[in-house]
Amino acid sequence: MQLKLLTTIAILLLVSAVSIAGCTVSNTPSSSTVSTDYPTSGHSKLIEGAIEQVRPSDSGNDKTQAFNVNWVSDTQAKVHIETVDTKTFDVYVKDLTFTHFPSTDAATTYYESLNNRGVWNGEWSLPPVDYYKLTGKVPTVFRANHDDWGDNGKAQYDTFVVELTSSTISK
């Protein structure tokens, strides 16, 4: 009886070892990263990926009330998001503009022109897009700022600029 029990345990350990040996752990980005190439036709893959990254998922008390995407051109899209807190009935509104420029210099010029449209005081530590997860690349140029309240912000990742305005509507 003990021999059968020991044999069973040995077989289970062997099966576990074989299945663990086939597993690998990787800290590199998955193959689902998107292209940063400027599009020659069709929508920017970079913007398409960013849209999916900001798409809200209902969790806890937060429920999506609206998620609208308006493609201005193949290299610019505007996203409107509304979520509602089902406990307080506060509605959180985010408007994002994603723009993919043909060069980093063009994106920098645009990013700097945004300085004339608002007061940008703080460094934005958590912009709405995680560029590394999105592309698998560390940008050579990264800048991000927000206003005094952190409701509005702008970020540049190489040729990609993200603008955010947000507000809360209390019921």
Q: What is the pLDDT of residues 118-133, one digit of tens each?
A: 655 667 767 889 999 9
- Is residue 11 in some structural domain? no
- Is residue 38 in some structural domain? no
If you average pLDDT over each of 6-10, 23-27, 47-51, 144-148, which comes out highest?
A: 47-51
Q: How many domains does the chain have?
A: 1
How many CB atoms within 10 Å of residue 31? Answer: 6
- Is residue 89 in some structural domain? yes
Q: Which of 132, 124, 156 is nearest to 143 (CA)?
A: 156
Q: CA–CA separation, 146 vs 166, rounded Å?
A: 11
Burial class (CB in 10 A: 0-12, 13-18, 19+), 126: exposed
- Is residue 31 in some structural domain? no
Residue 147: pLDDT band with limits 50, 70, 90: confident
Structure tokens given for 145: 């700022």
Q: What domain range is 71 assigned to?
A: 45-169
The residue with greater pLDDT, 146 or 52, is 52
Enumerate the β-bridge partners of residue 104.
none
- Is residue 79 in some structural domain? yes
Structure tokens given for 33: 């990263």
Q: What is the pLDDT of residues 20-71, one digit of tens each?
A: 444 433 334 445 689 999 998 999 999 999 999 999 888 888 899 999 999 9
Residue 165: pLDDT band with limits 50, 70, 90: confident
- Is residue 110 in some structural domain? yes
- Is residue 112 in some structural domain? yes
- Is residue 4 in some structural domain? no
Residue in the structure block whose two tokens are 């927000």: 146
Q: In this structure, which amino acid lies at residue 115?
A: N
Q: Which of 161, 150, 135 is nearest to 31 (CA)?
A: 135
Q: CA–CA separation, 42 vs 73, rounded Å?
A: 9
What does the pLDDT read at residue 70?
Answer: 98
What does the pLDDT read at residue 120?
Answer: 57
